[in-house]
Amino acid sequence: MSADTAETLAVTGNEATAEAMRQIDPDVVCAYPITPQTEVVQLYAQMVADGKVTSEFVTVESEHSAMSAVIGSAAGGARTMTATSSQGLALMWELLYVASSYRLPIVMTTVNRALSGPINIHCDHSDSMGARDTGWIQLYGENHQQAYDNCLQAVRIAEHMDVRTPVMHMYDGYVISGAIGPLVMLSDQKVQDFIGPFRSVNPLLDLERPVTVGPFDGLHGWYFEHKVSQNRAMDRALKVIQGVADEYAELSGRHYGLLDPYRLDDAEIAIVVAGSTAGTTRMIVDKLRAKGVKAGMARLRVFRPFPHEAYAKALEHVKAIGVMDRADSFGAMGGPMFLEVRAALYDNDPRPQILPFVYGLGGRDIFPDNIEQAFAVLEKAAQGKKPTSVERRYLNLRED
C-alpha cells in the first residue's frame, strides 16, 4: 500500500488496523492468534519479518502470556501494543486489572467475538463489555475507517500525561474484521507527527532512578487511594479523548466525538447502538424520516469512561429511547449500554422512556425489519403508551 496517498483503498478491517500499527511502529508487540483477530498479528508479524517496522515481535504461548509480556514491556519503558478477541481477552482477565493499575499506556485492538459457551466464533460484544470495569478506556468503531482512526487516536489518549491508562479499541468480528471496506490512510510522516515520540514514565530499566512496580498494597497501604486515582484519570480522559479527536480532525478531516449523533436535533424517538449495526440503523432512520417519523440515532463511540453528560444533553428532548445491546447482562434490567444510558438520563426533566433491546448474540443476523420493529415500539412509547415493564426485547429471536 502507498504510505503517502489519499486514495481510497479496499481492505479488511484487520488490514486497516495492521496498517495503523505499521505507521505507529511500536517498540514491542506481544500477541497470540485467535479468530477473528489472527490476521492483525499475522500481517504485522510479516511486516516485522520484511523489515517494514522496527518493532520487536514477541510470540507467546497464550493470551495470558501476551498480556504478561505487554505489561513487562510497557513497564520497562517501551511503546507497546497487542490484539485479541473473545476467549483470548477472557484469558487476560486478571492481567487487565494489573495493566490499568500500573497506569501503563498499552493499546490493544479487540476484535469483537462472542464468549463461550456454547462455543461460538462469531460477533457480539460480550467479550469487551465483560471487560468494561477493568480500568481500560474503551473505544468502539463502526467500520474499517474507524478501526484505523481509533487505533491511531488510542496511542495519544493512552500516553497523555493526564491519563496514562491503557486503551482497547473495538470493531465487529467478521462484519468488519474480515470483510472488505474503504480506507483512507494518512501518510506515515503525518502519523508519526501526530503520535509523537514515546515518553516513558518511571521505567523499570532506568537504573539511575530505581522504582518498585507491583508491591503488596495491603490493609495499611494505599490500595484505596490508588483505585480512586485510577477513576479520576478516567474522569480526565473524557476531555483528552475529545481533544485528541479534534486534533485528528484537523489532520484528517474526519470528525469524532464522545458519541456520534445522527438526525437527533428534532428527534422524538431514537436508538443508541454500537458497532457496525449503526450503519443499518442510520438507513432505517432515513426511511422513517421519509415517512414523517422524527427518528434519530446515537452511535456509541466511547464506553469507558462513559460520557454521561454528553448523552444527557444529546437526548434531553427525545421522548422515547431504545438502547440496542449486542451483549446481555445476566440478572440486570438490560444490557450494559442500556444500564449506562438509563443512568445518564435519570435526572433529565422530563425523563424520557428508555427501553432495552438485545440483538445479534453469537453473530445472529440483525435485519432492517428488526430495527424497524424496535422503532415501532418506541413510537408507541412516545405517544404515551407506556409498556407494562422495562423488560428487554430480543430482536430476531427464534421463539417456537
Task: For 58-67, write each residue's pLDDT tens digit.
Answer: 999 999 999 9
Q: Is the pTM above the cut of 0.85?
A: yes
Q: Structural domain boundaries of the chain?
A: 9-252, 259-394
- DSSP letter assigned to residue 104: -
Task: For 171-194, write each residue's pLDDT tens digit.
Answer: 999 999 999 999 999 999 999 999
Confirm whether 9-252 and 259-394 share one CATH topology.
yes
For residue 389, name the pLDDT band (cuts at 50, 70, 90).
low
Beta-bridged to residue 80, according to DSSP, are 28
The CATH fold assigned to 259-394 is: Rossmann fold (3.40.50)
For residue 384, name the pLDDT band (cuts at 50, 70, 90).
confident
Taking 50 as the threshold, does the pLDDT of residue 2 lie above it? no
Taking 90 as the threshold, does the pLDDT of residue 400 lie above it? no
Task: For 283-327, write each residue's pLDDT tens digit.
Answer: 999 999 999 999 999 999 999 999 999 999 999 999 999 999 999
- E strand or H helix at 95: helix 93-101
Domain spanning 9-252: CATH 3.40.50.970 = yes
Task: For 3-29, write each residue's pLDDT tens digit.
Answer: 445 789 999 999 999 999 999 999 999
Taking 80 as the threshold, does the pLDDT of residue 341 lie above it? yes
- DSSP letter assigned to residue 181: E
